[in-house]
Amino acid sequence: MKAMVFPGQGAQFPGMGQDLHEAHAFARDRFAEAADVLGFDIADIMFNGSEEDLKQTKVTQPAIFLHSVIMAEGMGDTFNPDFVAGHSLGEFSALVAAGGLGFAEGLKLVSERAQAMQTACEATPSTMAAILGMEDADVEAVCAGTEGIVVAANYNCPGQLVISGEVPAIESACEQLKEAGARRALVLPVGGAFHSPLMEPARERLAQALEAAQLHAPRCPIVQNVTATPETDPEVIRQNLIAQLTAPVRWTQTMQWLLSEGVDDVVEVGPGKVLQGLFKKVDRGLATASAVVA
């Protein structure tokens, strides 16, 4: 069985998508459509911008979404998964690729999501930290006992969990986790506490946009971040996408569920190979590959 998975924020790199733009007319059409939807020339930033330019949240999320969806479209008949899934932002790419959401509407939602998250980040000094080499339950226990807002945010793979919250609470939790035996507790260079209660204003803003969006049943189940279970019901998918902003990304659990269902072939659709690496941490012998545009 085959799963096709879509990366999230952090997979961007300067020059991303330029090869697709140069080689394929359909890709040039998508870039032009994206410029109309976003109101700025995202292709120019993707192809010619610096790493700093690409780190702007209003650019990063649409850029990764655009790259991923173009790759999926370019696969043609070889895009034939039994399941799709996406890490955080990648869930929107996965849904569009699987036919559950139109391209333009998906891009509008991603842009609204990015701007809402950026605004929420600016409201409270907050950040995230990667915790390596500890059991999830032990990290959760330290977070629960730390003063202030700090929660488990990204379950990336066994032994790798990202926490999210207010800056003082993150710093305190990191010190406690190091004392408790974490191999590393590293504050990340991000501007906010994604997938935490501090994203509530962004969740409310995205909810309004998602409630108005036209969602359809995807061609195959999408395994969603919030539940790590497969969904095809458009209304359930909608509510899970809304909840995702303040809930943890259960990627470890998503990978474990896919493997338990007999998935033995994973294709990463979009920039980078981060998700392939995470799957290999769960099953070293698993067949993984990057998508190839026909």
Read off the pTM. Answer: 0.94
Other beta carbons less than 10 A from residue 274's beta carbon: 17
Catalytic residue among 93, 111, 172, 195: 195
CA angle 9, 14, 20 (to 5 degrees): 90
21 a catalytic residue? no
Write phi, then psi, for 12 (nearest 5 degrees): -70, 155
Cα–Cα distance for residue pair 185/174, rounded to 1 Å = 5
Residue 257, helix vs strand vs coil? helix
End-to-end CA distance of the chain: give it in Å, rounded.
21
Q: What pLDDT, on a 0 to 100 scale, did the predictor assign at position 51?
A: 85
Other beta carbons less than 10 A from residue 181's beta carbon: 10
- For the domain bounded by 125-187, which CATH number is listed? 3.30.70.250
Q: What pLDDT, on a 0 to 100 scale, did the predictor assign at position 12?
A: 84
Write phi, then psi, for 267 (nearest 5 degrees): -115, 125
Q: How far from 218 is each of 83, 180, 244, 275, CA to CA, in Å?
A: 10, 44, 18, 22
Fold of 2-122+197-290: Malonyl-Coenzyme A Acyl Carrier Protein; domain 2 (3.40.366)
In DSSP terms, 265 is beta-bridged to 2, 287
Q: What pLDDT, on a 0 to 100 scale, did the predictor assign at position 58?
A: 83
CA angle 167, 11, 253 (to 5 degrees): 75
Q: What pLDDT, on a 0 to 100 scale, did the predictor assign at position 121?
A: 87
195 a catalytic residue? yes
How high is the mean pLDDT in each 10-residue block of the chain (294 residues)?
94 89 94 95 92 83 96 95 97 98 97 93 91 96 96 96 96 96 90 92 95 97 98 98 96 97 97 95 94 88
As given in the structure block, the two tokens for residue 222 are 């999408």
2-122+197-290 and 125-187, same CATH topology: no
Helix and strand numbers, DSSP H then E, in the chain: 13, 10
> Which is nearest to 181 in space by CA: 146, 132, 143?
132
Catalytic residue among 67, 87, 88, 164: 88
Q: What pLDDT, on a 0 to 100 scale, did the predictor assign at position 232?
A: 98
Alpha-carbon torsion, ordered 98, 25, 7, 257, to 10 deg: 30
Q: What pLDDT, on a 0 to 100 scale, did the predictor assign at position 265?
A: 96
